[in-house]
């Protein structure tokens, strides 16, 4: 049975418990605070999310951005033990990210923007991006809380997040890391495409063309989380079908990857075994050395000595 939802360590209100699809058919449980726009996770829960799980989590995040934002207080606590929180700076292949970690290591809070940044789904908003969004909507939407950011604001006045854009093409690849949805337009580019090319069709992009591609019309970056989720929600059914029954070529690709990695795994296992034997011999009696002193082959003299020792013990007992 799933445990009940925790109370948020910031606003003290019950958080939303999410049971999301994880790898190997498992469910990954996370707690989301819709008022504070925070996600609470234990250990490495987010690393165990499948593409479908990530899609559902972003959908849940987007559904909370219509609510007024609750400011993050200095008195925020761990929802499990009420201990204080400390700021932890993490490094990933996408750059640096932040989280508020329980001092007793029960888990950590991340804002929506911090989570998306850690996954490499956000990119900085240029002046051209900002000017175009302001021209279209009159303001810029905060990717974290959904609040309106003014033309000259350097951060969101509600949650203090830095204005950023969600990279839709990179989100689509994060949802589909195995490339099973190749027919989708957003997967048409290889990972070697430069930042100045459309991630959907590969066409060259001028510096001022960063929100949408003039060649194919693909949306490249979005400031509203709900709009970003809507743009990739169509991938959901195909991803669920793939999770239920992967295609034969995908299974073969997985097996080939395991075969290629087998020598490294064997070498690592041999190294672990050698280290364990060395540690065991260093703190316990060396059985192999003892057998060299007292071999198990038949020796009459040893048998006589053992018999005398047993008789001596029995006589004086």
State pLDDT tens for residues 274-295: 888 887 766 555 555 545 545 5
Residue with the larger pLDDT of the pair 215 and 20: 20
The residue-averaged pLDDT of 137-147 equals 88
pLDDT at residue 277, rounded to an integer: 81
Determine what percent of the chain is predicted with pLDDT higher than 90: 28
> What's the confidence (pLDDT) of residue 5?
79
Residue 299 has pLDDT above 80, yes or no: no
Match 């949650």 to its residue by tokens: 159
The label of the residue with tokens 């580019």 reads 189
Q: What is the pLDDT of residues 155-198, one digit of tens each?
A: 999 999 999 988 887 888 888 877 766 544 444 444 333 344 55
pLDDT at 103: 94
Per-residue confidence (pLDDT) for residue 255, from 0 to 100: 79
pLDDT of residue 190: 41
Q: How many CB atoms lie within 10 A of CB 96?
A: 10
Q: How confident is the model over 26-47, as a mean pLDDT?
A: 86
- Stated pTM of the model: 0.69
Q: Is 216 exposed, middle or buried (0-12, 13-18, 19+ CB in 10 A)?
A: middle
Mean pLDDT, rounded, of the chain: 78
Report the C-alpha gap between 203 and 291 in whole angstroms. Answer: 74
Helical axes 51-64 vs 168-175, angle rounded to 10°: 130
- Of the listed ranges 80-84, 152-156, 259-263, the one predicted with least confidence: 259-263
SS3 226: helix
CA-CA distance, 168 to 308, in Å (whole number)?
86
């Amino acid at each position: 049975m799933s445990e009940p939802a925790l109370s948020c360590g910031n606003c003290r209100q019950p958080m939303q418990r999410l049971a999301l699809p994880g790898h190997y058919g498992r469910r990954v449980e996370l707690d989301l605070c819709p008022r504070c726009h925070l996600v609470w996770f234990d250990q490495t829960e987010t690393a165990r999310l499948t593409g479908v799980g990530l899609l559902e989590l972003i959908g849940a995040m987007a559904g909370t951005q219509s609510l007024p934002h609750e400011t993050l207080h200095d008195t925020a606590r761990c929802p499990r033990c009420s201990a204080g929180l400390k700021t932890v700076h993490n490094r990933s292949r996408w750059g640096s990210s932040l989280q508020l970690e329980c001092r007793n290591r029960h888990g950590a809070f991340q804002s929506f923007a911090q989570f998306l940044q850690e996954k490499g789904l956000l990119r900085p908003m240029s002046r051209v991006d900002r000017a175009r969004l302001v021209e279209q909507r009159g303001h810029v939407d905060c990717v974290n809380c959904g609040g309106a950011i003014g033309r000259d604001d350097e951060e969101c006045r509600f949650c203090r997040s830095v204005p950023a854009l969600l990279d839709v093409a990179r989100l689509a690849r994060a949802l589909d890391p195995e490339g099973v949805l190749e027919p989708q337009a957003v997967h048409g580019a290889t990972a070697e495409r430069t930042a100045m090319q459309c991630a959907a069709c590969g066409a060259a992009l001028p510096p001022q063309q960063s929100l949408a591609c003039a060649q194919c019309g693909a949306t490249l970056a979005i400031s509203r989380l709900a709009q970003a989720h809507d743009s990739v929600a169509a991938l959901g059914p195909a991803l669920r079908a793939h999770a239920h029954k992967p295609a034969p070529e995908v299974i073969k690709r997985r097996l080939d990857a395991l075969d290629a990695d087998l020598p490294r795994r064997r070498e690592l296992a041999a190294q672990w075994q050698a280290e364990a034997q060395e540690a065991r011999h260093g703190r316990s009696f060396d059985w192999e050395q003892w057998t060299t002193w007292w071999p198990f082959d038949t020796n009459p003299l040893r048998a006589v000595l053992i018999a005398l020792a047993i008789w001596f013990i029995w006589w004086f007992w």
